[in-house]
Structure 1
């Protein structure tokens, strides 16, 4: 078929976001260790893309505190920093508190059921020391409230700072502390089902704020 003379309008942000997520996940899961140098040319070859979306992704990762980027110099994976992790944790906890407060009035029975099902999978994953599965289930459970809150600013803040907290989450879900999260989730779901937005918001905040920081 002949190529149309006009721009098809492909959303380049889809490529940028995909590259960003791949690099973010590789840092969070430890594929790229703290202090490791990140070269955009090597990353572009690994991902099969040009260097431009890689450079854009590295800038976004720097904004979120996952990499240290110095113009004209090397870009490295940021070390685990106690202060930055605590600051990010506090912000993320506040966002989930807000999400619960705004979402609970809109919760349906199927939404509550989805949260319960996610917590069952979360408990199973914690019991079997499957950190990746635990994180996915945890995302799905809290994601119900974030989705129903329908707050673009809230979602943007979580997108930026949650990855920094992920490394602390991995510490928790890989230890006995993960079992405490199952209980906290149960209480959160109970309050959501009862329509108690204020109490649910407080539990949502405590659940995230009790995550360990980099020194624990």
Structure 2
């Protein structure tokens, strides 16, 4: 199992979360490929931590659907599965719909401006074929509703489910098909500015459900 050339970088106060995020990000960005075996000893050498936080991180990743534990054998990166990915997409879309519905009545002009700025960065990143920046800008855009909603359960559920879609988002944001999301974001901003919570919520849900993918990607 090839691992990134990074060792002993995690500070103890955030040990468990950092270990989880490092492994999760390596799965999402393709460093660890679908079907690849994740070996505790190699993860220990990469992350510079003991086996306990690694096993805890792998358990969390299993619950998130990103790894599969084969009893008595190994832990592998979950292969792409279109049915489970589409199911996750429906849940994530519904969560963002709820976030928008809760947030719109509480939005300020600063929030609207932050969304517009994030969408501008998103559009520029797509034009530059900068997938990492596009993902960050898209996250920043949707994070406004999630933060303003004030619902920590909603936020935690999104943190658990969204990574399953991130591999698909990476492929989409590297293609011309993603350009449609810029216009969808613009419409979401317009509706939010009108304080139309229902229409904004529906538009957010449709934005997430418009993420198209096939098993051949």
Q: Same fold (TM over 0.5)?
A: yes
The alpha carbon displacement at 1:214 in A equals: 4.3
The alignment partner of 1:58 has SS state of helix
Tell me if 1:201 matches 2:189: no
Q: Is the 8 A contact 1:114 1:141 kept in 2?
A: yes
Q: Deviations over 1:142-174 (max 9, x none)?
A: 001000111122112111110001111112111
The alpha carbon displacement at 1:73 in A equals: 1.7
Question: Could you list the runs of 4 or more consecutive aligned residues of structure 1 that deviate by over 6 angstroms after TM superposition?
Answer: none
**Greater shift in the superposed pair: 40-49 or 92-101:** 40-49
**Counterpart of 1:58?**
58
TM-score for both structures, normalised by structure 2: 0.92
The alpha carbon displacement at 1:134 in A equals: 0.2
**Counterpart of 2:103?**
103
Q: Is the 8 A contact 1:64 1:161 kept in 2?
A: yes
Tell me if 1:186 matches 2:186: yes
- 1:19 and 1:112 mapped to 2: Cα distance? 34
The alpha carbon displacement at 1:14 in A equals: 2.4
Tell me if 1:89 matches 2:89: yes
- 1:114 and 1:131 mapped to 2: Cα distance? 20
The alpha carbon displacement at 1:102 in A equals: 0.2
The alpha carbon displacement at 1:13 in A equals: 7.2
**Counterpart of 1:118?**
118
Q: Deviations over 1:34-65 (max 9, x none)?
A: 11100112101101111111110101111111
**Counterpart of 1:131?**
131
Q: From the superposition, tell whether residues 85 and 70 of structure 1 become closer, same or farther in structure 2 (CA, over 3 Å).
A: same
- 1:62 and 1:13 mapped to 2: Cα distance? 23
**Counterpart of 2:74?**
74
The structure that has the greater radius of gyration is 1
**Counterpart of 1:8?**
none
**Counterpart of 1:22?**
22
**Counterpart of 1:177?**
177
The alpha carbon displacement at 1:212 in A equals: 1.8
The alpha carbon displacement at 1:213 in A equals: 3.4
- 2:41 and 2:155 mapped to 1: Cα distance? 31
TM-score for both structures, normalised by structure 1: 0.92
- In structure 2, stretches of 5+ residues that fail to align are 1-10
